[in-house]
Homo-oligomer: A and B are copies of this chain.
Amino acid sequence: MSGSLVIGDWGNTRLRLWRLENGAVAERREGPGMVHTADPRGALPALLEDWSAEQVILCGMAGARNGLHETPYVSCPTDVAAWSDQVARFNLDGRKITIAPGVAEAKDRGGRDVMRGEETQIFGAIAHDPRLATGHHLFVLPGTHSKWVRVEDGQIIGFNTHMTGELFALLETSTLCMAAGEATNDDDDDEGFSAGLARSADGAVLTAGLFEGRAAQLLDGKSPGWARGFVSGLLIGAETRAQTVSGPTAVVMIGEPGLTARYKDALAHWDVKGTVLDGEQCAIAGLRLLYADD
């Protein structure tokens, strides 16, 4: 791997770019997410700035309908070979652009699911650790739209998405979290998270659990920080329980340290062990798999 190569993960809320030199990351840069980019093709040169990138490899929303170039989803089951066969390659402003396809699943009971970007992190994790290339593994990639991905002998065989991060952000503006005006502190937040987690164990319907958090503020003087923690515990508790109730005892977690720590706590509540991999390292490893020296 040589020459001037830039790889990147263009998510809905954030763009991350890495410039590689002789195969190693030489520089790192962030930019606006796809939802904040009206004209991705026009925006790319400015985002690359002074980097002389002969080849650019992107995953995530770069391949979405409103992205850089629509790249169809690959269907489950898929392995790294089938997936990388389906990349889009084209020239733009004198650069060779490669865009990773997303992955789609049609569920047995009807309904469908999609991902864009997480598959790259998973294939990166597998490439990085040969133990993940054989046997059955359950991955979770917490975030705006959390993905729970089943991998068997290196193939993505199915997955489920939870809109947890987005719902949490919406609920931060609700009467529940806004009710009292006091400052918050981390202790309150952690106590609220534990209370929400415990409540999710009863299988409470979310809309009912949420109002209990509000009543606790009105009657017991709980702080907004406590309420935010409670909402987080309710949502992550319900999600982790639903995805592990059928039996897995270990989950591979890919993501940012703060969020994976919360998921790890929630998984421990259900006696499931979470092993954390760094999201950025997995993305870089996955994008490098798509490098073509031609």
Binding site for B on A (CB under 8 A): 12, 35, 65, 104, 109, 111-114, 145-146, 160-164, 166-167, 170-171, 173-176, 199, 202, 205-208, 210-212, 214-216, 218-220, 235, 238-239, 242
Contacts and interface: CB of A to CB of B under 8 A. Distances in A.
Main secondary structure of the interface of A (DSSP, over half): helix
Contacts of A206: 167, 206-207, 238
A117 to B, nearest CB: 14
A87 B196 CA distance: 34
B215 A235 contact: no
Nearest to A176: B163
A115 to B, nearest CB: 10
Number of copies: 2
A263 to B, nearest CB: 13
A110 to B, nearest CB: 9
Q: Which 3 A-B pairs have the closest CB atoms?
A: A162-B207, A161-B211, A170-B170
A230 to B, nearest CB: 11
A104 B171 CA distance: 24
A226 to B, nearest CB: 14
A175 B166 contact: yes
A145 B211 contact: yes
Given A170-B170, A170-B173, A173-B170, A112 B207 contact: no
